[in-house]
Amino acid sequence: MEESKICGCGCGQKTTERSEEERRKLIARLNRIEGQIRGLKSMVESDAYCNDILTQAAAATSALNGFSKEVLARHIHTCVAEDIRQGNDEVIDELMGTLLKLMR
């Protein structure tokens, strides 16, 4: 189960522990997205047709949005729920700020 905590290095930043399987899945998704971005760069370098580039850009955007939704869902089910159970209602304001950034 994921758990958020303060980093052990003394910097005061929050961290989230993830299972090895979840970490592997997230990295695999990011690798695919990275490949899509490299493909877009190649398309621009080879003067591909604008509409084709835009179609690929939309696919990359959709993939990145899917990644964000996955992380957000896990965050709500684990970190946010645990903080609320422990009486830390400030996490709701933090979540609202995150949602506003995602909705831009």
Q: What is the CATH number of the domain that holds 76?
A: 1.20.58.1000
The answer to whether position 3 is within a domain reads no
The answer to whether position 44 is within a domain reads yes
What CA–CA distance (Å, rounded) separates 65 from 84? 26
7, 13 contact by CB (below 8 A): yes
- Tokens representing 33 are 């997205």
Question: What's the average model confidence in pLDDT over 4-18?
Answer: 71
Say if residue 96's pLDDT is above 80: yes
- The closest alpha carbon to 73, from 2, 14, 20, 7, belongs to 2
Write out pLDDT tens, residues 30-76: 999 999 999 999 999 999 999 999 999 999 999 999 999 999 999 99
Domain extent at residue 37: 20-102
First-last CA distance in the chain: 30
Q: Which residues contact 91 (CB under 8 A, 6 or more apart)?
A: 79, 80, 83, 84
The answer to whether position 1 is within a domain reads no
The answer to whether position 2 is within a domain reads no
Question: What's the average model confidence in pLDDT over 75-100?
Answer: 95
